[in-house]
Amino acid sequence: MIGIEERPLVTPPLPPPPPPVPIGRLITGALVVLVGIGWMVDVTTETTVAWGLLLPAALMLVGLGVLYGARRQDVGGLITVGVLLTIATVISGAVSFVGPWSGAGQVSEVPTAVADVRAVYEHGVGDYLLDLGAVQFVDDQTISLTMGVGAARVVVPRDATVVVHAETGIGKLVMFERTIDGVGLSLDRTWPGSGPTIHINAELGIGELEIQR
């Protein structure tokens, strides 16, 4: 048409895509929701939340986030969360060994007769000594010792045959001439002797467990 200038059509530019949400924020938010739900269920209902399973699940979630975001984003904060969760998981596993604790401080038990020896010994936090060195055992004996946090020492008669099953979450096991330390320790061993057999089942959450003659 005369007098009308034809102009080319101009397509407006597309808006830039929104920046990706940091994977660390997503994982951290999911963890907060997960822990919050678990806490609410544990407090408001009769259901006992298995934190020993929930914490490893949260740790796996963080690990997946690190793997996914390692090449795309800065995941340093998420790694920090993973380290903290690892520590919490290890401590939770250690605490689960001993169940409810009882007693605190420095305690020594020194029975002198078989009738004074109990089948079960428990202590919560501190230093604990069970000295059986003066007991004249005639028959085989089974003794269980559980302790939360601290140092536990068991002294057995010199002539006894000793069968030990020992576990500790974090710390050290000193069994006669053998010493091991680390996380999630377990030891099953027999030390022969000329006298009756003493079976010792010992569990320690965090600390040092020693058995000696």
For residue 19, the SS3 value is coil
Please report, rounded to a whole number, the percentage of residues in the chain having pLDDT higher than 70.
Answer: 67
For residue 131, the SS3 value is strand
More confident residue, 5 or 211: 211
Beta carbons of 160 and 196 less than 8 angstroms apart: yes
pLDDT tops 90 at residue 110? yes
Beta carbons of 69 and 75 less than 8 angstroms apart: yes
Q: What angle do CA 96, 152, 113 make, to 5 degrees?
A: 115
More confident residue, 180 or 90: 180
**Tens digits of residue pLDDT in 170-199:** 788 998 878 888 877 888 999 998 989 999
Beta carbons of 109 and 121 less than 8 angstroms apart: yes
84-96 CB burial, b ≥16 within 10 A, e <16: ebeeebbebbbbe
pLDDT score at 73: 59
Look at residues 66, 58, 64 and name the one whose alpha carbon lies nearest to residue 31: 58
pLDDT score at 61: 76
Burial of 197 (0-12, 13-18, 19+ CB in 10 A): middle
Terminal C-alpha separation, the chain: 114
Which range is least confidently modeled, 33-37, 102-106, 191-195, 204-208?
102-106
Token digits for 74?
Answer: 């800065």
**Tens digits of residue pLDDT in 149-175:** 889 999 999 999 999 999 888 788 998
Look at residues 133, 139, 136 and name the one whose alpha carbon lies nearest to residue 109: 133
> Kind of pairing, strands 120-131 and 141-155?
parallel
More confident residue, 60 or 113: 113
**Tens digits of residue pLDDT in 113-132:** 999 999 999 888 888 999 99
